[in-house]
């Protein structure tokens, strides 16, 4: 388990310059320069002993990590070399983690790109992964049980052509749920993730009336044993959080991670504001669709080949 932690952590930073933010020194104190814009004018040196480790990490794990990190530095110092070798066969590194004590900013806008042509009929790996990650289950009451993500089958009645795609909160730039929420419990984070602050949600369900995508669920029953990073409870409304707890750690959402890679992943996560991100490049290159684009909501979830 401890090795797992390390892998996750290491994979969090993809490019060499990402590690600049792990310097605990102030600006320029140790002779290096913070390259926030990611230019490689001066390659930052990573000092393994300055990498903050989780406080609860056991000592043996800590030693193992530092050993691994020392080996890793050599790898990362070569520009363009990524860390795929370090664990999972699939590159998990998608985003740059922000320091835990810094607020999210509108420099990023997190989004998803879903290639419908690669989404297999009958595959529900994204749904099971989301359910497992966030602790919602489809139990005996399909009408009242929460569904954060679902597979929708679209069929053209004239041509009989069908497509299947995952549908979840579309993380609108102009979300109707946020507009209608009387208390401001529905809100859009600076980085574009639309969330429910369950502390001030009164359970009026107006957001569910307003959402064009039926993305939201109301919790009809008392719950227990929620995931510690995904609180959810009776009488409040919830929806896809784009795995905000993972994104804040620099990991990608559970659904994207689980999307099978054999024929190429159907789901891609990334920063829509960063023109160099994979997602932005693909959106620039291919024609993508927003569901109910007529509403002009500027969605964070785009579909390709729909």
The interface with other proteins within residues 107-166 (CB under 8 A) comprises 138, 141-147, 150-157
Tell me which stretch binds other proteins (CB under 8 A): 10-18, 82-90, 205-213, 260-268: 205-213
Pick the closer one to other proteins by CB: 68 or 135.
Answer: 135
Q: How far is the CB of 158 from other proteins (least distance, A)?
A: 8
Pick the closer one to other proteins by CB: 31 or 103.
Answer: 103
Cβ pair 236, 220 in contact under 8 A: no
Interface residues for other proteins in 264-293 (CB under 8 A)? 291-292
Residue with tokens 């693909």: 282
**Residue selected from 79, 182, 264, 275 as contacting other proteins according to rule CB under 8 A:** 182
Exposed, middle or buried: residue 266 (CB in 10 Å: 0-12, 13-18, 19+)? buried
Q: Which residues contact 238 (CB under 8 A, 6 or more apart)?
A: 146, 148, 196, 198, 216, 217, 219, 232
Does the footprint of other proteins cover residue 22 (CB under 8 A)? no
CA 295/CA 298 separation, integer angstroms: 9
Does the footprint of other proteins cover residue 78 (CB under 8 A)? no
Q: Count the site residues for other proteins by CB under 8 A.
A: 85
Q: How far is the CB of 56 from other proteins (least distance, A)?
A: 7
Pick the closer one to other proteins by CB: 16 or 269.
Answer: 269
What is the chain's alpha carbon radius of gyration, rounded to the nearest angstrom?
21
Cβ pair 149, 258 in contact under 8 A: no
CA 283/CA 286 separation, integer angstroms: 5
Q: How many CA atoms lie within 13 A of 160 on its CB side?
A: 0
Which two three-digit tokens encode residue 51?
């990498």
Residue with tokens 């109910």: 292
Tell me which stretch binds other proteins (CB under 8 A): 32-40, 87-95, 113-121, 221-229: 221-229
Pick the closer one to other proteins by CB: 84 or 229.
Answer: 229
Tell me which stretch binds other proteins (CB under 8 A): 18-26, 39-47, 64-72, 226-234: 226-234
**Residue selected from 19, 65, 86, 213 as contacting other proteins according to rule CB under 8 A:** 213
Pick the closer one to other proteins by CB: 214 or 281.
Answer: 214
Tell me which stretch binds other proteins (CB under 8 A): 13-21, 40-48, 69-77, 94-102: 94-102
Across-strand partners of 235? none
């Amino acid at each position: 388990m401890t090795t797992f932690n390390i892998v996750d952590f290491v994979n969090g930073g993809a490019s060499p310059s990402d590690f600049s933010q792990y310097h605990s020194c102030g600006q320029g104190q140790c002779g290096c320069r913070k390259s926030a814009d990611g230019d490689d004018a001066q390659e930052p040196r990573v000092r393994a002993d300055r990498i903050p480790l989780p406080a609860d990490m056991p000592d043996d794990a800590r030693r193992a990590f530092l050993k691994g990190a020392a080996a890793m530095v050599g790898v990362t110092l070569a520009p363009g070399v990524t860390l795929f070798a370090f664990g999972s066969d699939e590159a998990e590194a998608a985003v740059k983690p922000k320091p835990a004590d810094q607020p999210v900013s509108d420099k990023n806008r997190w989004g998803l790109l879903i290639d419908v042509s690669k989404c297999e009929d009958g595959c529900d790996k994204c749904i099971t992964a989301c359910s497992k990650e966030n602790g919602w289950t489809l139990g005996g009451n399909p009408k009242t049980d929460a569904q954060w993500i679902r597979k929708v089958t679209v069929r053209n009645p004239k041509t009989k052509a069908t497509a299947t795609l995952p549908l979840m909160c579309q993380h609108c730039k102009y979300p109707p749920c946020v507009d209608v929420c009387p208390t401001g419990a529905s809100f859009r984070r600076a980085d574009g993730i639309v969330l429910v602050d369950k502390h001030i949600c009164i359970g009026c369900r107006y957001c569910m009336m307003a959402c064009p995508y039926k993305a939201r669920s109301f919790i009809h029953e008392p719950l227990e044993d929620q995931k510690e990073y995904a609180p959810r409870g009776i009488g409040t409304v919830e929806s896809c959080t784009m795995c905000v707890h993972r994104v804040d750690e620099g990991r990608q959402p559970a659904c994207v991670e689980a999307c099978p890679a054999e024929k190429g992943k159907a789901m891609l996560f990334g920063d829509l504001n960063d023109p160099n991100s994979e997602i932005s490049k693909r959106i620039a290159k291919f024609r993508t669709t927003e569901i109910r684009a007529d509403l002009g909501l500027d969605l964070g979830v785009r579909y390709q080949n729909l």
